[in-house]
Structure 1
Amino acid sequence: MLAKHANGFSSSEVDADQVARGYREALQARGAGVRTFEDLAGRLELPAGFADALLSPLDAETRDTIRVWLTHHGAWDPAATQLGIHRHTLRNRVRRAEQALGRSLDSPGLRAELWLALHREGQ
Protein backbone atom coordinates (compact mmCIF):
# COMPACT_ATOMS: atom_id res chain seq x y z
CA MET A 1 0.00 0.00 0.00
CA LEU A 2 1.12 3.56 -0.58
CA ALA A 3 0.77 6.25 2.04
CA LYS A 4 -0.61 9.32 0.33
CA HIS A 5 -0.55 12.87 1.48
CA ALA A 6 -3.81 14.75 1.01
CA ASN A 7 -2.41 16.62 -2.00
CA GLY A 8 -1.59 13.44 -3.94
CA PHE A 9 2.08 12.95 -3.03
CA SER A 10 2.95 9.34 -2.27
CA SER A 11 5.49 7.28 -0.39
CA SER A 12 7.23 4.09 -1.32
CA GLU A 13 5.16 0.97 -0.69
CA VAL A 14 4.56 0.36 3.03
CA ASP A 15 2.87 -2.27 5.17
CA ALA A 16 0.11 -1.34 7.60
CA ASP A 17 2.63 -1.08 10.45
CA GLN A 18 4.77 1.37 8.44
CA VAL A 19 2.17 4.03 7.72
CA ALA A 20 3.97 6.67 9.81
CA ARG A 21 7.13 6.20 7.72
CA GLY A 22 5.06 6.34 4.56
CA TYR A 23 3.45 9.59 5.62
CA ARG A 24 6.89 11.12 6.34
CA GLU A 25 8.07 10.02 2.90
CA ALA A 26 5.00 11.55 1.26
CA LEU A 27 5.71 14.82 3.07
CA GLN A 28 9.32 14.71 1.84
CA ALA A 29 8.08 14.16 -1.71
CA ARG A 30 5.73 17.14 -1.38
CA GLY A 31 8.53 19.30 0.04
CA ALA A 32 10.77 18.42 -2.90
CA GLY A 33 8.02 19.01 -5.45
CA VAL A 34 7.91 15.45 -6.76
CA ARG A 35 4.94 13.10 -6.86
CA THR A 36 6.51 9.99 -5.34
CA PHE A 37 9.22 9.38 -2.78
CA GLU A 38 11.16 7.32 -5.34
CA ASP A 39 11.43 10.42 -7.53
CA LEU A 40 13.71 11.89 -4.87
CA ALA A 41 16.52 9.51 -5.85
CA GLY A 42 19.50 11.54 -6.91
CA ARG A 43 17.84 14.79 -5.83
CA LEU A 44 18.76 14.77 -2.14
CA GLU A 45 20.73 17.81 -1.13
CA LEU A 46 22.74 18.41 1.98
CA PRO A 47 21.93 21.37 4.17
CA ALA A 48 24.07 24.43 3.44
CA GLY A 49 27.46 24.12 5.10
CA PHE A 50 27.06 20.45 6.03
CA ALA A 51 29.54 19.15 3.44
CA ASP A 52 32.10 21.82 4.28
CA ALA A 53 31.80 21.17 8.01
CA LEU A 54 32.06 17.39 7.63
CA LEU A 55 35.00 17.50 5.22
CA SER A 56 36.94 20.34 6.88
CA PRO A 57 39.17 18.06 9.00
CA LEU A 58 40.30 16.16 5.87
CA ASP A 59 43.09 17.32 3.56
CA ALA A 60 42.75 16.98 -0.22
CA GLU A 61 44.69 13.69 -0.39
CA THR A 62 42.51 12.12 2.31
CA ARG A 63 39.33 13.34 0.62
CA ASP A 64 40.42 11.82 -2.67
CA THR A 65 41.37 8.58 -0.91
CA ILE A 66 38.00 8.31 0.82
CA ARG A 67 36.15 9.17 -2.41
CA VAL A 68 37.91 6.34 -4.28
CA TRP A 69 37.54 3.90 -1.37
CA LEU A 70 33.80 4.61 -1.13
CA THR A 71 33.46 4.28 -4.91
CA HIS A 72 34.79 0.74 -4.49
CA HIS A 73 32.35 0.09 -1.60
CA GLY A 74 35.17 -0.10 0.93
CA ALA A 75 37.08 -2.77 -1.00
CA TRP A 76 40.76 -2.29 -0.21
CA ASP A 77 42.52 -3.84 -3.20
CA PRO A 78 40.63 -2.18 -6.08
CA ALA A 79 40.72 1.21 -4.32
CA ALA A 80 44.45 0.90 -3.64
CA THR A 81 45.06 -0.11 -7.25
CA GLN A 82 43.14 2.90 -8.57
CA LEU A 83 45.06 5.21 -6.22
CA GLY A 84 48.38 3.60 -7.16
CA ILE A 85 49.24 2.81 -3.53
CA HIS A 86 49.65 -0.32 -1.41
CA ARG A 87 46.54 -1.50 0.43
CA HIS A 88 48.30 -0.96 3.78
CA THR A 89 48.90 2.67 2.81
CA LEU A 90 45.20 2.92 2.00
CA ARG A 91 44.30 1.45 5.40
CA ASN A 92 46.56 4.00 7.09
CA ARG A 93 44.90 6.86 5.20
CA VAL A 94 41.44 5.60 6.15
CA ARG A 95 42.55 5.38 9.80
CA ARG A 96 43.91 8.92 9.52
CA ALA A 97 40.50 10.05 8.22
CA GLU A 98 38.75 8.32 11.13
CA GLN A 99 41.04 10.06 13.61
CA ALA A 100 40.48 13.44 11.98
CA LEU A 101 36.70 12.94 11.94
CA GLY A 102 36.56 11.36 15.39
CA ARG A 103 34.25 8.66 14.00
CA SER A 104 34.62 5.17 12.59
CA LEU A 105 34.22 4.56 8.88
CA ASP A 106 32.69 1.22 9.82
CA SER A 107 29.49 3.24 10.26
CA PRO A 108 27.24 3.04 7.19
CA GLY A 109 25.76 6.39 8.23
CA LEU A 110 29.13 8.13 8.18
CA ARG A 111 29.98 6.51 4.85
CA ALA A 112 26.71 7.81 3.39
CA GLU A 113 27.30 11.29 4.80
CA LEU A 114 30.83 11.34 3.39
CA TRP A 115 29.66 10.09 0.01
CA LEU A 116 27.05 12.83 -0.22
CA ALA A 117 29.48 15.49 1.02
CA LEU A 118 32.20 14.41 -1.40
CA HIS A 119 29.68 14.27 -4.25
CA ARG A 120 28.49 17.79 -3.44
CA GLU A 121 32.09 19.01 -3.25
CA GLY A 122 32.80 17.58 -6.71
CA GLN A 123 29.92 19.44 -8.36
Structure 2
Amino acid sequence: MKDMGIKDDDDFDELPSEIRGEDGMNVSERKLFEAMKKIGLDPIPQYKISQMKVDFAFPDEMIAIEINGPMHDKQEQKITDKKRLYVLHRENWKRRTFSSSSAYNHPDNPYKPLLAP
Protein backbone atom coordinates (compact mmCIF):
# COMPACT_ATOMS: atom_id res chain seq x y z
CA MET A 1 0.00 0.00 0.00
CA LYS A 2 2.88 2.39 0.68
CA ASP A 3 3.94 2.18 -2.97
CA MET A 4 0.62 3.78 -3.87
CA GLY A 5 1.08 6.64 -1.42
CA ILE A 6 -1.47 5.31 1.07
CA LYS A 7 -0.52 5.93 4.68
CA ASP A 8 -3.12 3.74 6.33
CA ASP A 9 -4.94 0.61 5.20
CA ASP A 10 -8.27 2.29 6.04
CA ASP A 11 -7.52 5.25 3.78
CA PHE A 12 -9.25 3.94 0.65
CA ASP A 13 -10.26 7.47 -0.40
CA GLU A 14 -6.86 7.73 -2.04
CA LEU A 15 -7.10 4.61 -4.19
CA PRO A 16 -6.99 5.36 -7.91
CA SER A 17 -10.31 4.71 -9.64
CA GLU A 18 -8.52 2.34 -12.02
CA ILE A 19 -8.23 -0.21 -9.22
CA ARG A 20 -11.33 -2.19 -9.99
CA GLY A 21 -12.35 -5.79 -9.59
CA GLU A 22 -13.49 -8.08 -12.36
CA ASP A 23 -17.02 -6.75 -11.85
CA GLY A 24 -15.85 -3.21 -12.68
CA MET A 25 -16.35 -1.91 -9.15
CA ASN A 26 -13.74 -0.34 -6.91
CA VAL A 27 -13.58 -1.04 -3.17
CA SER A 28 -16.04 1.70 -2.13
CA GLU A 29 -18.50 0.80 -4.88
CA ARG A 30 -18.38 -2.87 -3.86
CA LYS A 31 -19.12 -1.96 -0.21
CA LEU A 32 -22.08 0.24 -1.14
CA PHE A 33 -23.36 -2.38 -3.60
CA GLU A 34 -23.31 -5.05 -0.89
CA ALA A 35 -25.02 -2.71 1.61
CA MET A 36 -27.79 -1.87 -0.87
CA LYS A 37 -28.32 -5.56 -1.67
CA LYS A 38 -28.42 -6.32 2.06
CA ILE A 39 -31.42 -4.01 2.57
CA GLY A 40 -33.26 -5.43 -0.42
CA LEU A 41 -32.30 -3.00 -3.17
CA ASP A 42 -31.21 -4.27 -6.59
CA PRO A 43 -28.82 -1.71 -8.13
CA ILE A 44 -27.30 -2.24 -11.56
CA PRO A 45 -23.56 -1.47 -11.47
CA GLN A 46 -21.79 0.48 -14.22
CA TYR A 47 -25.05 1.37 -15.94
CA LYS A 48 -24.86 3.27 -19.24
CA ILE A 49 -26.94 6.43 -19.55
CA SER A 50 -26.49 8.30 -22.81
CA GLN A 51 -22.73 8.15 -23.52
CA MET A 52 -21.59 7.70 -19.90
CA LYS A 53 -21.69 5.11 -17.16
CA VAL A 54 -22.88 5.75 -13.63
CA ASP A 55 -21.67 3.71 -10.66
CA PHE A 56 -25.15 2.29 -9.99
CA ALA A 57 -28.61 2.74 -11.39
CA PHE A 58 -32.20 1.95 -10.58
CA PRO A 59 -33.66 2.28 -14.11
CA ASP A 60 -37.31 1.85 -13.12
CA GLU A 61 -37.01 4.73 -10.65
CA MET A 62 -34.55 6.60 -12.89
CA ILE A 63 -32.11 7.10 -10.02
CA ALA A 64 -28.35 7.16 -10.65
CA ILE A 65 -25.94 6.61 -7.77
CA GLU A 66 -22.41 7.98 -7.92
CA ILE A 67 -19.59 7.56 -5.43
CA ASN A 68 -17.27 10.55 -5.30
CA GLY A 69 -13.72 10.31 -4.05
CA PRO A 70 -11.34 13.19 -3.28
CA MET A 71 -10.68 13.86 -6.98
CA HIS A 72 -14.20 15.29 -7.19
CA ASP A 73 -12.99 18.28 -5.13
CA LYS A 74 -10.66 19.36 -7.95
CA GLN A 75 -11.88 22.13 -10.23
CA GLU A 76 -11.44 20.17 -13.46
CA GLN A 77 -13.46 17.26 -12.06
CA LYS A 78 -16.17 19.64 -10.81
CA ILE A 79 -16.66 20.81 -14.40
CA THR A 80 -16.91 17.20 -15.60
CA ASP A 81 -19.37 16.41 -12.80
CA LYS A 82 -21.58 19.35 -13.80
CA LYS A 83 -21.65 18.07 -17.38
CA ARG A 84 -22.59 14.60 -16.13
CA LEU A 85 -25.36 16.08 -13.97
CA TYR A 86 -26.65 18.02 -16.99
CA VAL A 87 -26.84 14.79 -19.03
CA LEU A 88 -28.66 13.00 -16.21
CA HIS A 89 -31.18 15.84 -15.86
CA ARG A 90 -31.64 16.00 -19.63
CA GLU A 91 -32.46 12.28 -19.61
CA ASN A 92 -34.83 12.80 -16.62
CA TRP A 93 -32.67 10.91 -14.13
CA LYS A 94 -32.19 11.85 -10.47
CA ARG A 95 -28.68 11.61 -9.06
CA ARG A 96 -27.67 10.64 -5.55
CA THR A 97 -24.03 10.89 -4.49
CA PHE A 98 -22.04 9.32 -1.68
CA SER A 99 -18.49 10.08 -0.65
CA SER A 100 -16.13 7.17 -1.14
CA SER A 101 -15.19 7.30 2.55
CA SER A 102 -18.84 7.05 3.59
CA ALA A 103 -19.46 4.13 1.23
CA TYR A 104 -16.35 2.33 2.44
CA ASN A 105 -16.32 3.12 6.16
CA HIS A 106 -20.07 3.05 6.83
CA PRO A 107 -21.55 0.50 4.40
CA ASP A 108 -24.29 -0.54 6.82
CA ASN A 109 -25.83 2.92 7.07
CA PRO A 110 -29.50 2.92 6.09
CA TYR A 111 -29.19 4.01 2.44
CA LYS A 112 -32.81 3.32 1.57
CA PRO A 113 -34.10 6.78 2.69
CA LEU A 114 -31.36 8.48 0.65
CA LEU A 115 -32.54 6.68 -2.47
CA ALA A 116 -36.12 7.89 -2.11
CA PRO A 117 -37.29 10.50 -4.65
TM-score of the pair, normalised by structure 2: 0.29
Q: Using CA pairs below 8 Å that are at least 6 residues apart, which structure has the higher relative contact order? A: 2
TM-score of the pair, normalised by structure 1: 0.28
Higher-helix-fraction structure: 1
Higher-strand-fraction structure: 2
Q: Which of 1 and 2 has greater Rg? A: 1
